[in-house]
Chains A and B, each alone.
Chain A
Amino acid sequence: MTHGPLQVLIPVCGRQVPISPPIILAAALLLAPLATLAHVEGGATGGFLSGFGHPISGLDHVLAMVAVGLWGAQLGAPAIWLLPVAFPIMMALGGLLGLSGVELPAVELGIALSAVILGALILGAIRLPLAAALLVVGFFAIFHGHAHGTEMTPGQSAILYSIGFVIATGLLHAAGIGIGLIQHWQIGRWDAGRVALRGAGAVVLAGGVFFLWSALA
């Protein structure tokens, strides 16, 4: 069956096609069994990455986190930094409640409502008093922590999962604040930035309505 010193003839559609050994070896290597990657990363790296990825992987969570930053940017100092300071602590309190076995009613509804309410507040450019703003953000943060802070894969480092989870949440707030800075943009005398920021609120509101619909369906 050989055709020349370095070729093998393979029958293809009734014709003998010469195939060189490197091609045969390459094809064989493509069939080499690879390590199965069906398990999550374990240990320290897995714990941190799992915690870090968790807030980012859920769009409902992402919307609310970014919305907190957007609203803080819209309200200005001191809300711009007080809201992102209060949110992680209240979110962790929600996680603590969840891990302690304390049940919260309608957690998914609470998460969806957080995007609806925050989106509406940004869209309407509503300036609540600071204490009320903190109350709104803190209240909804408990639902997010209860739902998402308690979903660590068994066997991973709890402290590194927690660190990753909190850092990712904080970075989402920072992203919201960064986006919120568009409010300072002007086109001539037109406050285009403020309109754009309210438009971002409308996007958050629309996303929240979608998740609310999904939670109720």
Chain B
Amino acid sequence: MMRAAAWLLPLTLLAGVPIPAQAHLVNSGLGPFYNGALHLLLSPVDLLAVVVMSLLAGQSGKVGGRWAAIVLPLVWGGAAIAGLTLGTAIEAGWPGVALLVLLGVLVALGLRLPVWVMTWLSALTGLVLGLENGGALAAGESSFVAVAGIVATVLVLTLLTAALAVSLRADWTRIALRVAGSWIAAVGMLMLGWLFQGAS
């Protein structure tokens, strides 16, 4: 018994010897649809753009939220297909980041925008980020099924986020919404600077 216990220390040390970690995700492993969905969820600029657009739409009321939930995924999908077909990769990245700043500031200001303005902003967001997505997918030999995955994720995220923003009633929750907008605008502004320096 004592002899076995004597081996406890060296065996514990042996277990603690570090080995290289293999923690990188290559793809979903579930096919192109889920690869597309993951592409959006793992792209912070795209994700923030969907969230901030939906917050703005929800902040402007139920009608604005509904239009955003229709227009944003549709235009996003159309632009992604166009980008995928034409293979026009937009390398700059700054239009999407500039949108983060614009939309974040609008949320921070707590504006209730008219429905037509909301609709056009949704279309602009979908167009810019959809084209970027399509171009990126074309470079990676992805299929239209991946675009479907992206569009489905945009739709679900928009619905959930806009519905959350519409449902907020308490003063502090409306304030939290505006704070979130200011944070997203700040992230976009810093990112613009990094893009200016050539970072990614």
Contact = CB atoms under 8 A, between A and B. Distances in A.
A29 B185 CA distance: 51
Interface string A79-101: 00100111011011101111110
* Chain A at the B interface: SS class: helix
Contact of A25 (B10, B183, B187): B10
Interface stretch (A111-119, A152-160, A208-216): A152-160
Contacts, number: 104
Interface stretch (A57-65, A121-129, A163-171, A180-188): A163-171
Interface of A: 6, 20, 22-23, 25-26, 29-30, 32, 34-35, 81, 84-86, 88-89, 91-93, 95-100, 145, 149-150, 152, 157-163, 165-167, 170
Chain B's interface size range is 20 to 34
Given A81-B179, A95-B193, A145-B190, 11 more contacts: A23-B6, A34-B17, A89-B189, A96-B192, A99-B193, A100-B193, A100-B196, A152-B199, A158-B191, A158-B194, A165-B190
A89 B185 contact: yes
A45 to B, nearest CB: 9
A25 B183 CA distance: 54
Nearest to A30: B13
Nearest to B174: A81
B22 interface: no
Contacts of A97: 193
B175 interface: yes
Given A29-B17, A158-B199, A158-B200, A170 B179 contact: yes
